[in-house]
Amino acid sequence: MIEVIFTAFYDIEYTFLEVLRAIAPLTVLFIVSMVFLLETTREQIIRVIVGLLFVLIGLTLFLQGVYTGLMPVGEKIGIVLSNLSYSWMLIPLGFVLGFVVIMAEPAVRVLNYEVEKGVGGYITQNTMLITLCIGVGISVALAMARVLYGIPLMYLLVPGYILAFILTKFCSSTFVAIAFDSGGAATGPMTVAFILTMALGVTSNIEGRDPMLDGFGLISLVALAPIITVLLLGTLYSMIEKKNARQYEEV
């Protein structure tokens, strides 16, 4: 047990330095802005500094967990799935894994909270979460189909973005803005670390597939599918609003 714990913290100092280098410029910018540009009290500055320390510690532990646990497990799961007797099972299993992983994505949680707050509860966090889960699940399923059947990436991306731009005509500008931000939020550290390594594990174990050509490109699908599902949600909201407006006029 102790050996496992020590293994989990192996090379954590390098992870700490990596995170420190990443947030140091932002920390300096925050402190300079609060001291010289904003009217902030000493207590507020201390609170921000403490918060940044929590970020430093939290990101270090999170990335260490990704490096030592999540990525190796994702790759092994991909290898196991590629050895299934029924290869087509990769597609529904990809949907389930994509659906589940996005629930743990920190960026998605932040986005859903801000969306609900920004629109005054008109779009709830649960509605956004389920919509994004479905979108990412579909994207991972398509990625597995692409790996199995050798579908070129452009055959999925080009029609997908054409459909996305068409859907923008049928929903409000609010949903358009939220949709394109959703694509970025869905491609956060949890999704990239697990899904990408799983795809590389699958492609490395299937004959005739190149991990560099077939394993990568998945994240572009993960970024696209939530855009489409959120736009579809916006279209549904628009249809409901128009129906309610017609009923109100008839009354």
pLDDT of the residue at 162: 93
Q: In the chain, pLDDT over 70 holds for what percent of residues?
A: 93
Assign 90 a pLDDT band (cuts: 50, 70, 90).
confident
Query: Do 75 and 201 form a contact (C-beta atoms < 8 A)?
Result: yes
Assign 134 a pLDDT band (cuts: 50, 70, 90).
very high
Please, which residues have CB within 8 angstroms of residue 9's CB and are 6 or more apart in sequence? 64
Give the pLDDT confidence of 32-62 residue by residue, as tens digits.
Answer: 887 777 777 778 878 888 888 898 898 888 8
Between 2-16, 44-58, 84-98, 183-197, the lowest mean confidence (pLDDT) is in: 2-16
Give the pLDDT confidence of 110-129 residue by residue, as tens digits.
Answer: 888 998 888 788 888 888 99
pTM over 0.85: no
Quote the mean pLDDT of the chain: 82
Helix (H) or strand (E) holding 174: helix 173-186
Please, which residues have CB within 8 angstroms of residue 116's CB and are 6 or more apart in sequence? 123, 124, 125, 128
Query: Do 105 and 223 form a contact (C-beta atoms < 8 A)?
Result: no
Q: And the tokens for 194?
A: 């697990």
Between 21-30, 90-99, 158-167, 202-211, the lowest mean confidence (pLDDT) is in: 202-211
